[in-house]
Structure 1
Amino acid sequence: MIVWTVANQKGGVGKTTSTVTLGALLAQQGKRVILVDTDPHASLSYYFGVDSEELSTSLYDVFTSAKKLTADRVLDCLCPTKLDSLFILPATMALATLDRTMGNQGGMGLVLKKALQLVEKEFDFALMDCPPVLGVLMVNALAACHRILIPVQTEFLALKGLDRMMHTLEIMQKSQPHPYRFTIIPTMFDKRTNAAIEAYRKLRETYGDLVWNGVIPVDTRFRDASQAQSPPPVFCPRSRGVFAYNSLLKYLLSLESPA
């Protein structure tokens, strides 16, 4: 199973949209995909019409069962979607208490990694949507992944947020046995504005080959898809945004193929 973590310490840059769209595209290709919502606000869960506060099990239960976790326990926490091979591991607001209640317990940074390893024969891909704050949830998502996908809105305040994110990863890297692999994804690009063009140029100039050489454009169809609680590849398969994510997915799969 290939695991991608979608993370940025700035909100509103396209993390959830990227997770949903890439996951749905993979499912349409016949891959079995699990989307993990590690954000207590549960935007990813609500995107698929999952009211996480009404669920009997969620990602929170994976953490509270960490010492006796089994594959069946993880699978029991999953919710189906309208796409047959796409499943959600939903979030709840209770996740917001993890840093206070469990953050200092030994091994809490590897719970997600162990959970995904238990079900890795059941899925081809796992994509994790992270909260915009560094805590036990983001630490877990980063420890479990093969590649970090960092969506960055093409505007200068978002570039400052990326600088903070990269600094955080640099610090965390010191405690990791293997180097992080990154792909920076320019999002919400508006070719009509000089500000977006200049921000993209700065992004490429600063981070070079870490930046995907395409862009995800501004596309109002993403908003419509979210309101309809339907993944963009299902709701608007011919939109320019979905076309861009298709190109991104091909690029990401080419990076994984040697492995």
Structure 2
Amino acid sequence: MAFPQPPGLLPTEVAFLCEMEQVTIVPRQRLERLDLLGGPTRPLIPPQRTTLPLWLAVLLKRQQRANIAPPPWLATENLEIILNLETREFRDSFSPAPPPPAQAPVPTPRDFSGKPFHASAPFIPSCTVDAHPTALPYHWFEVSEMLLDAASDDVGEPDRVRQLLRDIREVRLAKMRKGVKELTGDGVGMILDGVGAMEVSESRGFITGVMDGLRKIDASREQARRDREDEERENRRYNDDDGDEDDEMT
């Protein structure tokens, strides 16, 4: 018997997908190319920078074969700018996500069916050294946690970075809770532009629970209204029947 799974991705599954994000490394040893499912990697030649999937970069870091160059949005000065955006300029929404990379006019990337293909996370360089400095990518929380865990010595001021990330996370979670309150009132709904993958995964269960509760409340109200209308209709019919009997007796 299969156990029912909640809708959407679990936080562990989101973290697993995040490991495909491309990050920049500085190799400390030469290493020939590796043939991965996503394609072959470039040969590692110190001190030339290259990009690798996060899982492989973390593995090489733990083996002391490479250092990881953190993305610019993980620097303290840029995190302070992002925190300022979240608390002052975008009080009722989330700070904008990084813009997609510019696509060359020709040739247009296409998928196996021949349709135009537009890459998204984790297949756009949102966590490399060329990433947008003041915009949080889709997997910002997971990437920052993994880098601080495996390569904190490569991150400048790691304690300050942790504090700023904690503040940003608390501010954004407060916005998620505020958005849920909008669902229970007369608001137009939640605007989730700029929300990260882990934030969606962690809030999905609570939000869907609120929505299910609202549906049940609306259904009970609708049923009560119908019962009241049926009762009033029966009362009018009963009164009409009594009136007809009185007319016949007279």
Question: Normalising TM by the smaller chain, what interval?
Answer: under 0.3
Higher-RCO chain (CA-CA 8 Å, sequence separation at least 6): 1
**Larger radius of gyration, structure 1 or 2?**
2
Q: If the length of structure 2 is used for normalisation, what is the TM-score?
A: 0.24
Q: TM-score, normalised by structure 1?
A: 0.24
